[in-house]
Amino acid sequence: MWRPAGWWSRVADALRAYGLIVAMWVRSTMAYRASFAMTTLGNFAATAFDFVAILLMFSHVDALGGYSLPEIAFLYGTTSTAFGLADLVMGSMDRLGRRVRDGTLDTLLVRPVAVLAQVAADRFALRRLGRVTQGLMVLAYALWTLDVEWTAAKVAMVPMMLLCGGAIFASVFVAGGAFQFFAQDAAEVQSSFTYGGNTLLQYPPSIFAKDLVRGVTFVVPLAFVNWMPSLYVLGREDPLGLPGWFALLPPVVAAGCLGLAGLAWRVGLRSYRSTGS
C-alpha cells in the first residue's frame, strides 16, 4: 500500500544525500581555487560564443524570423539559464552509461542511498555556474532593452520559465540516464535532446518547420521551456495557432515530465543486471 509519508521521507533522504555528496565535491573543488576560477571562466567564455554568433548575425540583419535582437536575447537568456541550472544539478547523468558498462554502478547499489541522488551528484561540477551566469547576463540585457508592456503576469512568467524550464531539462537528463540502462552507450543521444534542445530554443520557432515545432511541443515538450511562455510575454502569435492558455502550462508540463522521468528511471534501474563479472 502506498503511504505518502513514507514516500516523502524517501525523497527527503535522497535530497539530503544529494546535498552531502555535492558538498563533498564542492569542498574538493575549492581546495584548488585558482583552477576553479579558470575553469569557471572558461565555461563562461565557451558558452558566450553562442551569443556572439547571434550578435554576428544581427550585424548583417535587422531581424531573424521577425524577431529583434532583444527578443532573441530573451529566448537565449531564458533557455540558457534554465538549461544551466539543470546541467548544474543533473549534468552528471551522462556518465551513467560508462558505469553500466564497467560495472561500477554496483558500488552505488549497495549503499543505503537513492541511486539517482548518487549518480546526479557524482563529480558535481561547480564550474557549470559559468553557464548560468552567462545566461543570466544575456537575460538581464534582454529585459533592459525589450519593448514590452510589462504586467504582473508577464513579470511572474520570467522566474516561472526559469524554474519550470530547469525542471523540464532535468527530466530529460533523468530520462536519458534511464535509457542508458538499455543502450549503455547513449550519452550522445541524451546530449542531442539536452544540449541540442538548448541550442534549438535559443532561436524563434518561426524559423523552423511546423513539424519540428509540433515535435518539441507534443512529443518532447521542450517548447514549454521558453517558446510557449515567451510568445505571451513578447506578444507574438503561435506559429501552430494554439490557444493563448498554452503559455500557462509549463508548471503542468514540468510536473508531468518529472513524473514520467521518475517512472522511466525506476524501470531502467530494475532492468539492470550488472556486468555478470
Nearest partner of 169 among 141, 128, 110, judged by Cα: 128
Predicted local confidence at residue 245, as pLDDT: 92
Q: In the predicted model, what is the mean pLDDT of the chain?
A: 89
**Cα 201 from chain centre:** 11
Predicted local confidence at residue 2, as pLDDT: 47
Question: What is the Cα–Cα distance from 83 to 243, expressed in whole angstroms?
Answer: 26
- The secondary structure of 159-200 as a DSSP string is HHHHHHHHHHHHHHHHHHHHHHHHHSS-HHHHHHHHHHHHHH
Residue 232: what residue type? Answer: Y
This prediction's pTM: 0.92
- Per-residue pLDDT averaged across 100-117, rounded? 85
Question: What is the Cα–Cα distance from 199 to 83, expressed in whole angstroms?
Answer: 10
Question: What is the Cα–Cα distance from 199 to 193, expressed in whole angstroms?
Answer: 10
Q: Give per-residue pLDDT as tens, 215-267.
A: 999 999 999 999 999 999 999 989 999 998 999 999 999 999 999 999 999 99
Q: Which range has the top average pLDDT, 7-21, 65-79, 95-109, 192-206?
A: 65-79
Nearest partner of 138 among 54, 42, 234, 14, judged by Cα: 54
